[in-house]
Structure 1
Amino acid sequence: MIQTSSVTRRHGSFVAVDNVTASIGPGVTAIIGPNGAGKSTLLSAIGRLMSPDEGTITIDGRDVATTKSREIARALAILKQDNHLAIRLSVQDLVAYGRYPHGGSGRADEDRSHVERAIDLLDLGAVRTRYLDELSGGQRQRAFVAMAIAQDTSHLLLDEPLNNLDPRHGVGLMKLVRQLADERGMTVVIVMHDINVAAAYADQIVAMRDGRVVEHGPVDDVITQECLEDLYDTPATVATVADRRIVLWT
């Protein structure tokens, strides 16, 4: 369970996240909203990539500001929107970095098992020995997702993970996220711009605008014409196709 209480984050005089209080439990939660809404900033604060100026964040009751880094890393993995490395790594070496929080425990066989599973789940077997700078953007993105999966946490934060992915691998990733939530009871939080993908795979939607949460609830309660038009200042039509909400921007 992720709990944020009165979380505020400023960049100078600009308030990026404004007094956000929310509870996010097991399942898939998508954070949506226009550019500059504070989605990625909130996700980074939850993942302890930046500290809030005000408020508290807890993961299963542990305050992320005071809990030891390795303990947090065993409970929560995060994939940033932009991932850059100063060293040259192969895909296999990168994915193995996901096991770092579990290092020194004498579980080498278990570590290898998690790495192999992540490489297989993200369809990276054919490029496992290649260096990241030799891959396409989509292959690199899947390699970083595999690293997060190999970390084997109960909470997974993904910031626009569909960047650079073709439809096949994008759908495959979302099905994997759904599987992790359904079969392992994981809490998965995804920042995304594709409302139709969010509606198809998420259990809950958090809608943000101007740093604030303006709606938070089940897909059918948030993915409505009224809510989306207010959120994006753009005319929209919401239809139901194959029991899924589909949004047409008009």
Structure 2
Amino acid sequence: MIEVANATKTYGDTIVVRDVSLTIPRRGITSIIGPNGAGKSTLLSMISRLMPMSAGTVTVEGLDVTSTPSDVLAKRLSILRQDNRIASRLTVRDLVEFGRYPYSKGRLTVEDRDHASRAISFLGLELLADRFLDELSGGQRQRAYVAMVLCQDTDYVLFDEPLNNLDMKHAVGMMKLLRQAADALDKTIVLVLHDINFASCYSDYIVAMRDGTIVRHGTPDAIMTSAVIQEVYGMNVEVQEIRGRKISVYYM
């Protein structure tokens, strides 16, 4: 499991994340939700050690992320950021194989290539494997990035707003793929999401943040109530149950 203890991030006198303590359960999907500026992406970046903490600790299966060697941590935890700055003239296969770097150090083995082929197949990218990234649609390119992260074959996979720039159809398809990865590949997936309805429909656990702190955390049934949504977002909603899932209906 991932254990966060008293994590804090400050910029000068501004506190972005304040004294957050949290246990993220093993396996399944945990979604971090909240309004803009709640500290969601900052918390995820500290968990993955992309961003140093001002105070506090984070451990992944007992490994302290601040002191564990990078090559060791990279075999346990991977992350897909919002801003992917990888050369667009890479092919899909080149990109996915890059996920094996913690193991291959750039010298791919047969096992590494097999991992890449399985990830490409899992994301349904076989017909696009030799296409360049800049020849793909936004949805196809996002699937390629997800395949790269899954190819890293870590127990814990973090995604910072994986639905950004995706239309409704592709967003639903992406959430279904992530749900399948959690279930079929036995992954622990942690997402930062803006859409609370996607969080409700596809998550096992939800962490709700506001103003740099955790307001509530628990199962979707516990979080998806009118009172909690009002507390987190400061707006009135009606929560309805459709096909066994709670969906929020917004009011102006």
- Output the TM-score relative to the length of structure 1: 0.94
Kindly provide the CA deviation profile for residues 74-106 of structure 1, in whole angstroms up to 9, marking residues without a partner as x.
001100011112573111101100001111598
Matched letter for residue 84 of structure 1: R
1:234 equivalent in structure 2: 235
Mapped pair 1:138 → 2:139? yes
Given residue 41 of structure 1, which amino acid in structure 2 is its aligned partner? T
Check whether the contact 1:181–1:188 (CA below 8 A) recurs between aligned residues: yes
Which residue in the other structure is 1:159 paired with? 160
Deviation of 1:160 after TM superposition, in Å, equals 0.9
Q: Tell me if the contact between 1:205 and 1:219 (Cα under 8 Å) persists in the aligned partners.
A: yes
Contact 1:196–1:247, Cα closer than 8 Å, also in 2:
yes
Residue 197 of structure 2 corresponds to: 196
Deviation, 1:240, is 0.4
- Cα distance, 1:209 vs structure 2: 0.3
1:169: how far off? Answer: 3.4
Match of 1:100 in 2: 101
Aligned to 1:170: 171
Q: How does 1:82-93 map to 2 (within 5 A)?
A: 82-86=83-87, 88-93=89-94
What secondary structure does 1:22 align onto? strand
Q: Which residue of 2 aligns with 1:13?
A: 13
**How far, CA to CA, are the matches of 2:119 and 2:105 in structure 1?**
21
Give ranges in structure 2 of 5+ residues lacking alignment.
none
The question of whether the paired residues in 2 share the 8 Å contact of 1:15 and 1:211 is answered with: yes
* Identity, % of aligned positions: 50
Corresponding position of 1:24: 24
TM-score (ref. length: structure 2): 0.94
Runs of 4+ in structure 1 displaced over 4 angstroms?
A: 104-107
CA distance in 1, matches of 2:227, 2:210: 15
Preserved CA contact (<8 Å) 1:239 1:246: yes
Count of residue pairs brought into register by the alignment? 250
Q: d(CA) in 2 for partners of 1:208 and 1:117?
A: 36
Greater shift in the superposed pair: 169-178 or 1-10: 169-178
1:209-228 to structure 2, matched below 5 A, reads 209-228=210-229
1:125 correspondence with 2:126: yes
Counterpart contact for 1:141–1:163, Cα < 8 Å: no
Inter-partner Cα distance in structure 1 for 2:101 and 2:29: 25
Q: Is the Cα contact below 8 Å between 2:2 and 2:24 reproduced in 1?
A: yes
Letter in 2 for 1:43: L
Shift of 1:133: 2.1
> Contact 2:29–2:182 (CA<8 Å) still a contact in 1?
yes
Residue segments in structure 1 that go unaligned for 5+ positions in a row = none
Q: Tell me the amino acid that sits aligned with residue 239 of structure 1.
A: Q
